[in-house]
Amino acid sequence: LNPPSGPHSLARDLEAREFAAELAEEAAVRGDSTVRELARRKGRAVRAVIASVEQARSSRKPCFVNLRTDQPVLRIREGTHLQRVDGGVVGRVVRVTTEDSGQRLLRVELSKGVMKSTVPRVGEESDWVDAVPVDMSVQRNKIFSAMKAAQTPLVYGTLSSVPPIPPPQRDLLAVAAALRKR
């Protein structure tokens, strides 16, 4: 059982360990209310009320929910993936706005939980967490296998020269400046 030593196997190992750490963090924050409370204090979990649901066709995407929270500490930004603590609803934050009252409104585009039976109801209060691990191991393995197959000198060997281009007979900086918009 030799430990990984090549760039591809080390990279794969590091990715696997990071994913495992994400899974453990997700399990802790979803399954342990004390951990979740600590996450809430750091803004990584949020208790919010469903302010509205926008879904043009029942049980179909696109489906947006607006979450309203008065939690002062939030580490949630546009692009953050959120899941309801029961794991039934998952989405991506597309906008964060602050209302005059100081409450924050998170607009979330749902990727899971859009069916009529599962879509969140207006007025429902629930915990949402930002730990949404996505298993990309299949895709990453493909990448690292391709990297190993390519055996690029940059990663595996000694760099060789590229075909030389004659040295410039002009001031490249001046040429670059001339390409700028006036």
Partner 1 sequence: MSASAPPAAVSLAENAQRRVLEAVLHYQHPVVVVDSPPGAGKTSLVEAVIAMAVLDCRWRVAVIAPRNEQVYDLVRRLRSDYQPLPLQLLHSGESPPPADLRSLGIPMVTRANALVGGVGVVISNAAKLAFSVPDLTTNEFDLLVCDEAYQLAAKDLDPVGHLARRLLLVGDPGQLAPLVRVDVARFEAARVKVHWPAPKELMRRHPGLPRIALPATWRLPKDTVDFVQPSFYPDLPFVSGAAPDGRRITFSAAGMGDAIDRALDQLGAGATMVGLVLPALPLEADQVDEGVSQAAAAVIQRMLSRGITWEGRSLLTEGDVGYVDTHVASNAATERRLRQLGIGPATKTTTPEIWQGLQRPIMVVKHPLSGASHFGAFDLDPGRLCVMTSRHQLGCVMVSREGVAQALERHAHDCSDRPTGAEDVQWVGWRANNSFWSMLEQKERLERL
Cα–Cα distance, 134 to 144 (Å, whole number): 18
Give the dihedral sign, CA 22/25/29/30: positive
Residue position matching structure tokens 């949404």: 132
Does residue 21 belong to the site contacting partner 1 (CB under 8 A)? yes
Determine the interface stretch with partner 1 among 29-37, 57-65, 119-127, 142-150 (rule: CB under 8 A).
Answer: 142-150
Q: How far is the CB of 81 from partner 1 (least distance, A)?
A: 9
Which residue(s) pair with 54 in the sheet? 64
Q: 3-class SS at 73?
A: coil
* String marking each residue 62-101 x if it binds partner 1 according to CB under 8 A: ----------xxxx---x------------x-----x---
Does residue 35 belong to the site contacting partner 1 (CB under 8 A)? no
b/e map 15-28, b = 16+ CB within 10 Å: beeebeeeeebbee
Q: How far is the CB of 175 from partner 1 (least distance, A)?
A: 6
Does residue 175 belong to the site contacting partner 1 (CB under 8 A)? yes
Nearer to partner 1, 52 or 139 (CB): 139
SS (H, E, C) 26-68: HHHHHHCHHHHHHHHHCCCEEEEEEEEEEECCCCCCCEEEEEE
Binding-site ranges for partner 1 (CB under 8 A): 3-8, 10-11, 13-15, 17-18, 20-22, 41-43, 72-75, 79, 92, 98, 102, 111, 139, 142-144, 146-147, 150, 152, 154-155, 158-168, 171-173, 175-176, 179-181
